[in-house]
Amino acid sequence: QTGSGKTFSICGNHSNRGIIPRSLACLFDAVDRREDGVKFTISMSFIEVYKEIGYDLLAKEFGKSVETWPVVSVSLVSGDPVLSGAKRVTIASEEEGLHQYFLGDTHRTVAETPHNLNSSRSHCVFTIYVEASDPAAQTVRTSKVQIVDLAGSERLKPYEQGSQNEKELMGQAIAINLSLHWLEGVINALNKGGSTMVPYRNSFLTKILKDALGGNARAIMIATINPSDPALAETVSTCRFAQRVANVQTNARVNEEKDPQLVIAALRAENSELRAALAAAEGGDAATAAPLPADELRRRARAFLEGEGDDADADEGSTVFSIGSLLQAFAMFRVLRELFWELLRSRRAVSSGGGATTSTPATPAGGGARGATPTSAAPASGMGDAGHPAANQ
């Protein structure tokens, strides 16, 4: 209802603070009193809906025409409203929030009407975004507070006769009434419930308020009325609309999920600890535990097979190859397997050539072959095709 004190209740003035400044003060006071280690990030946006077009009040500048104002668009993604083009400002204190709010409030579209010398000619939506990150639980909670100042409906005949005298005021009144009409249609559909289709997409305002009216939220409406006799019909209509809004059922729940940044940081720390533990168990560090280059591994494997390893055990008649870590052991096993197949193919090629014989490796003295230490025998036919001793096994 126009001229009944809606904007004064929501915004207030310099001597009487409205709901928006009081909400900022209450929010930061609650954050300052928390001592549980939760980190809060608070941001805000401020837009107006003028003739079914959204404008960013935090980016508007004085002295420019409406054609140059920053336009905001809204779309429904997976059922949730998403704003595009709206400036989202991070605020760290109540003073910063009030500064941004007063900056946007001075950019609102107002005009003089017969019942209000400073009438709001657009709806405004002030949104506070709150994100609480808990490092101990590795969770993050998100929420937002939407405070909406609706422009008042105007009956052009006979109550608001002055609005018909100017074409601009009449166009604004028609746009405001149409927007409120679609909002009423959404409220009526929500009251019916069941499978009734809710027409959120009919207007810019109803798309913005989709999650606040019929989703995960708690909705409160403040209805202001004009007690004068000429405004009686509009007063009754306002009270009936407020009653329908009060009957809307919402389902509020906590928006909590795992913080991806904290989870990634914890996994990286755990990975570093496991690498350090593995290196300590192998008697080295992460640098020495890394696999050797492929060429070096092949050189050592060939020396091992040819009996020219790092150390020799004369009693056992075997060759010992030193391995610095489990990673090097796995890599060496792969190289030995490759060399084995190369050796096998070389022996088969020599045998198929005719006239060549191979000798069977002798069993080392001392009782039985050892699984990890191969023995060496004299070559029967020189070097194979692959360049390895043909009789080494």
Q: What confidence score (pLDDT) does residue 276 get?
A: 81
Confidence of residue 213 (pLDDT cuts 50, 70, 90): confident
The answer to whether residue 333 scores a pLDDT higher than 70 is: yes
Residues 6+ apart with CB under 8 A from 237: 1, 153
Alpha carbons within 13 angstroms on the beta-carbon side of residue 148 total: 22
Which position has the higher pLDDT, 349 or 325? 349
Chain-centroid distance, C-alpha 350: 65
Average pLDDT over residues 358-379: 41
Predicted local confidence at residue 89, as pLDDT: 93
Are the beta carbons of 346 and 338 closer than 8 angstroms?
no
In this predicted structure, the answer to whether residue 382 has a pLDDT above a threshold of 60 is no
pLDDT value of position 291 = 60
Query: Residue 312: its pLDDT value, please?
Result: 46
What is the reported pLDDT for 325?
Answer: 67
The mean pLDDT value of the chain amounts to 78
Higher pLDDT, 46 or 76: 46
Q: How confident is the model at residue 97 (pLDDT cuts 50, 70, 90)?
A: very high
Q: 3-class SS at 188?
A: helix
- Comparing 93-97, 275-279, 314-318, the range with the smallest average pLDDT is 314-318
- Label residue 308 by pLDDT band (50, 70, 90): low
Contacts of 3 (CB under 8 A, 6+ apart): 113, 115, 116, 119, 152, 226, 231
Residue 52 DSSP label: T
49 by DSSP, 3-state: which? strand
Phi, psi of 131 (to 5 degrees): -130, 120
Q: Amino acid identity, residue 159? A: Y
Kindly state the tokens that stand for 248. 């809307």
Per 3-state DSSP, what percentage of the chain is helix, strand, and coil (rounded to 5)? 40, 20, 40
Residue 202 has φ and ψ, to the nearest 5°, of -70, -25
Nearest C-alpha neighbor of 148 from the set 129, 179, 127, 130? 127
Is 234 in contact with 156 (CB distance < 8 Å)?
no
Q: What would the pLDDT profile of 143-182 be if each residue is shown by its tens digit? A: 999 999 998 887 766 555 555 567 778 888 888 889 999 9
pLDDT higher at 236 or 61: 236
Q: What is the mean pLDDT of residues 101-111?
A: 85
Of 36-50, 96-110, 146-160, least confident by mean pLDDT is: 146-160
Assess whether pLDDT exceeds 80 at residue 212: yes
What's the rounded mean pLDDT across residues 327-354? 82
- CA distances for 17 relative to 57, 173, 332, angstroms: 20, 28, 77
Model confidence at 20: pLDDT above 90: yes
Q: Is residue 22 within a helix (H) or strand (E), and if so which, with residue range?
A: helix 19-32
Q: Which of 179, 178, 175, 177 is nearest to 204 (CA)?
A: 179
Q: What is the pLDDT of residue 298?
A: 83
Predicted TM-score (pTM) of this structure: 0.65
Segment 271-287 shows an average pLDDT of 72
Q: What is the mean pLDDT of residues 35-43?
A: 90
The pLDDT of residue 47: 92
pLDDT at 96: 94
Q: What is the pLDDT of residue 305?
A: 73
Residue 339 has pLDDT above 60, yes or no: yes
